[in-house]
């Protein structure tokens, strides 16, 4: 039977981490372990985790360079065949592991993702992001349309094959990791199923849209899309970007009417 390791990077998430842990525990015995990598939180995170009676938690609290560094540590220490990324302020949908069990046991994917519920700091739904089939051009030009919270990775073909989160990236390390997977021609699979809730609130990294956009352009330049020394290249990039957005919306409507 496959082993699933949940990896959770955490830093000062006392307000949310209990909900995160509870959502993992309620999945039942199909979760092999919950690896929490804490960056020396100064709040009550450690006390909350320590008081939790979930015996599958593996807790590590040590200084790290960034969330990317914490993820690399978590992926390395995870003993499962499949790694499920879940941030400390996010949580899994009820019974989602049971619902995906057949898919998870198939060997026809390396990265598996699904729908995402976006909630506020109180857990109230504000939006719903439906998953789309993987398209290589979409991935590069859309700046990351694959949700990372609740994403499954086959460890043998991702981390054990040498793929690492870039520690110098703060905002788009998830998207850049997907680009690494794409360059290796790994198999992406999407499922039309709600997997997790992503908490969007003032103060979390994803909400800092200006910095995220700047870092996204940097990554696109790294992968050869953005060429600031060539004005024709810049115009071409923006034209392709807006065309991709149009086709993205058309495809979303087609798959989820």
CATH number of the CATH domain containing 194: 3.90.550.10
Distances (CA, A) of 167 to 78, 130, 174, 221, 241: 19, 29, 11, 18, 27
Separation of alpha carbons 252 and 135, rounded Å:
13
Question: Quick one: pLDDT at residue 1?
Answer: 84
Residue 218's H or E segment, with its range, is helix 209-222
List CB contacts of 63: < 8 A, sequence separation 6 or more.
39, 40
The total of structural domains in the chain comes to: 1
**Grouped pLDDT means (10 residues each) for the chain, 257 residues:** 96 97 97 98 96 94 95 98 97 98 96 96 93 88 84 98 96 95 97 96 65 84 67 60 60 50
| Enclosing domain of residue 188 | 4-255
Question: Quick one: pLDDT at residue 204?
Answer: 66
């Amino acid at each position: 039977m496959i082993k699933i390791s949940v990896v959770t990077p955490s830093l000062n998430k006392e307000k949310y981490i209990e909900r995160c842990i509870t959502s993992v525990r309620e999945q039942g015995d199909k979760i092999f372990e919950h690896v929490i990598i804490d960056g020396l939180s100064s709040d009550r995170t450690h006390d909350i985790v320590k008081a939790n009676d979930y015996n599958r938690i593996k807790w590590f609290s040590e200084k790290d360079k960034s969330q990317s560094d914490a993820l690399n540590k978590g992926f390395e220490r995870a003993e499962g065949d499949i790694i499920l990324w879940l941030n400390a302020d996010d949580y899994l949908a009820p019974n989602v592991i049971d619902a995906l069990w057949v898919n998870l046991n198939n060997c026809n994917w390396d990265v598996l993702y699904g729908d995402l519920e976006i909630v506020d700091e109180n857990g109230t739904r504000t939006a719903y992001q439906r998953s789309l089939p993987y398209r290589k051009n979409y991935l590069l030009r859309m700046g990351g349309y694959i949700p990372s919270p609740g994403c499954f990775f086959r460890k043998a073909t991702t981390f054990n094959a040498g793929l690492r989160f870039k520690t110098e990236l703060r905002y788009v390390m998830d998207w850049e990791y997907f680009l690494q997977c794409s360059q290796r021609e790994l198999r992406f699979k999407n499922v039309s199923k709600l997997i997790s809730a992503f908490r969007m609130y003032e103060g979390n990294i994803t909400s800092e849209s200006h910095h995220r956009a700047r870092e996204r352009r940097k990554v696109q330049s790294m992968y050869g899309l953005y060429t600031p020394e060539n004005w024709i290249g810049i115009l071409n990039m923006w034209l392709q970007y807006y065309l991709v957005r149009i086709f993205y919306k058309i495809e979303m409507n087609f798959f989820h009417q």
